[in-house]
Amino acid sequence: MALNQELSAVYNNFHNGGAPKEVSQAILQSTKELQSDFANRKIIQVGEQLPAFTLSDATGKSVTSASLLEAGPVLISFYRGDWCPYCNIELRALQKRLPEFKAKNVTLIAITAQLPDTTLTMVEKHNLEFSVLSDVGSAFARQLGLVHKQPEGIQTLHKRIGVDYKKGYGDESYEIPFPATILVDAKGIVRNIYVDADISKRLEPDTALEWVDAL
């Protein structure tokens, strides 16, 4: 099953009886708010230089963009958090195709605003063999135009179900990145980017591999 087929199945099951009506309505309303937010923002474009970064991996080790680019092109997947089912599915899908990215000499990384303790749990839970980096405070994602504040409806819902932003992100700003996939070449130039305000839609790994082949 293709990634977006799996994501669509999860979405439909959730909103067509799998979740309480008020929860579904709150999420759908929040989706509209995010789409409105997204329409008015400037996101990094193809052909631009990726800003340099130094971020911590799941073990707390610092990783620089320069060190990653020394090995060749880098594919970056931004995800929202460990509470997001769509993100979890996407990361597992990327893990399945990791050998193909490695065979093409591309380094795959994921970036989240969550703290290393939380990303370590993600890595272990999903048996991820690529680096998951913590962009605490979303400083790097902010440079790319990807950061948004969670709508009030989602904040209320997350408080109700126990999603602890202070513990997971280190603050309660409720600012996280839109999910996005970016391919940069060995010089750090953005060659492709995919980002959608509909957080249930993600780039297919097959398409990412086609991006790589086009380099």
Q: For the chain, which residues make up each domain, given as ranges?
A: 3-214
The CATH fold of domain 3-214 = Glutaredoxin (3.40.30)
pTM: 0.94
pLDDT-derived band at 12, boundaries 50, 70, 90:
very high
Q: Residue with structure tokens 């290393």?
A: 116
How high does pLDDT run on average in the chain? 94
Return d(Cα 90, Cα 82) in angstroms, integer: 11
Q: In this structure, are residues 14 and 153 in contact, taking their beta carbons and an 8 Å threshold?
A: no
Q: In this structure, are strands 190-195 and 180-184 parallel, antiparallel, or unpaired?
A: antiparallel
State the pLDDT at residue 122: 83
pLDDT in tens, 114-135: 999 888 888 888 899 999 999 9
pLDDT in tens, 82-95: 999 999 999 999 99
Q: In this structure, are residues 86 and 10 in contact, taking their beta carbons and an 8 Å threshold?
A: yes
Residue 121 pairs in a beta bridge with none
